[in-house]
Each structure stands twice: as C-alpha cells, then as structure tokens.
Chain A
C-alpha cells in the first residue's frame, strides 16, 4: 500500500515538475521576445521546417478527411432528406474543429518529435552546455525560434488543411453524390460566420504554442529527468513522451477552448 502511494506521489511530483519546466520555458521565450536584437533568420528556418516541410502531409490528410466527412455526412443527411446541408456540415466541422486539431496532431507527429529529439541529442552531446559556455542563451537561440515558428506555422497550415478539406468534401458531395453545386456552396457560405473562423484561428495558435513548448521542454530539460542518464534510449523515451503528451494536451485543450468560446 505504502509503495503504491509512493509511486503515485512520485508520478504526481514528476508531472508537476514537467508542467513547471514547460511554463518556465514559456516565460523565458516571452522574456527573450522582449529582448533585442531580434534575429529573424532562425525563425524563418524553423517555419520552413515546421510549416513548408509539413505541407504535403497536411494536403494529403486534409483532402482525405474532407472526403471522409463528405461521405459520412451525406449518408446521415440523406436519411433525413437534408443533403442540401452537406456543405455547411462539412465546412463547420472542418473550420471549427477538425482543421485545427488534425493539423496540430499531424505537425506534432512530424515536427514535434524531431524538435524533442534534436534538443535531446544536443543536451546529451554537450552542445547545449557548449552554447552556455559561449555566453549564448540556448533557450533564446534554440527554443524561442521553434516556439514562435510553431505559433505562426500551425494557423497557416490549418488554413491550408481547411481549404483542401473543403475541396475534398465538395468533390464527394458534388461529383460522387450529385449534390447541387449551388446548394453545397451556398450552404457552406451561409453557415460559416466570423466567430467560427475566429474559433479555429484561436485554437490553431494555441495548439502551435502548446505543442512546440511541450516538445521543446521535453528535449531541452531531458537531463533533469530519469531519461537524462539513458543516452540514446533516453532521447527516444522523451520523444515518445513529448508526442503522447502533446497529443493529449491538444485534445484536452480543444475541449476547454471549445467550452469557453462556444
């Protein structure tokens, strides 16, 4: 019994420590954002890595999800004789919900994991220490550009995801099930209002900051946890941890933001 309690206590402390470090990293990033000189090249490089190099994945997953949505919505709406609502159904689901969440989850899998692995390897091979010894702040040089790029890239990728998902839904509705094009388009335009777009935008910005902070924190502070003494195995451990934690955090915060801004 005592051992079980000890384990629960140790896990709780570890989770709280992790959360504290991630929050600390957020404060450091904000602090560095306020400190000149500003260097844009590292941010652009990270936007290229997180954003541009995720584009193919986002386009493929966006089209697929849009088509699946079109298919599912059509089969449900057909039962009630409301297929003219197909456009609005697909558009609202994508713009309010699926666009930001799916984009963020895809980016976590592709870019988040490599952020953690990169920082973890830099930590184990003393590259972070070397940077400290050169009087270069590693959190400014390594972490801040990644978080800023995450914050900017995810909304942009979400916009691309939304666009191609709507195209996918349109293709299924109009070309496969012969829904009237005007009905599909008008339904979509009439149903979506600014608050839906705003909700999607807020979510995607929040998810961008959230995943990049969690992934950076896991790699950057790797040496402070158990994984720190495990070398390469430790890097793989924190990378898996970062992806799982980021995904859960995105899904949970999606619910929270949705509830607050409904």
Chain B
C-alpha cells in the first residue's frame, strides 16, 4: 500500500504493482481501441444500408426480389471498395500535404 501511495518521484518498490498497472493500462487501451473499431464498423454498416437501400430497393414490394438481393450484394461490395479508394486517396493526400509543409518550413 505504501508503494502505491508513496512519493510520486520514487519508483514503486513492489515488483508486482507496476506490472499490475501496466496490465490495467493495456486493458483500458484495448477496450478503447475496441470501442472505436466497433463505432467505425457500425457507421460503415449504417451507411451501406442507407446507400444500397436507396439504390436497389426503388419500389418496395411485399418481399425482396432476387434481383434486388443481387443488387444489394454488389452494392455492398462496391461501397466497401469505394471506402477503400477514398481512404487510400485521402491518406496519400495527407502525407503529401505534410511533406509540402515540411519542405516549406525548411
């Protein structure tokens, strides 16, 4: 206990408590990463749902037709592909802008 509440500038004397703290920290970081990844996936699912429903189900009837289902499958694949193209283009651009700023400041 004294190592836990001890002087903040000294290293904790017990070998188990820093390992404990490191494990706890790792757990917190992983849960935050997990939450963000989940939010990202949910956003992508919501967007594909909206976009593909708008494109493929133009006149809703009593059930999804097979042509509508084909369209939805293709639309889903294309939306993911579009996301990847946009992501690649954006990150490449950001890297380029950063290089420009660096060479300007030299």
A and B co-occur in one complex:
no
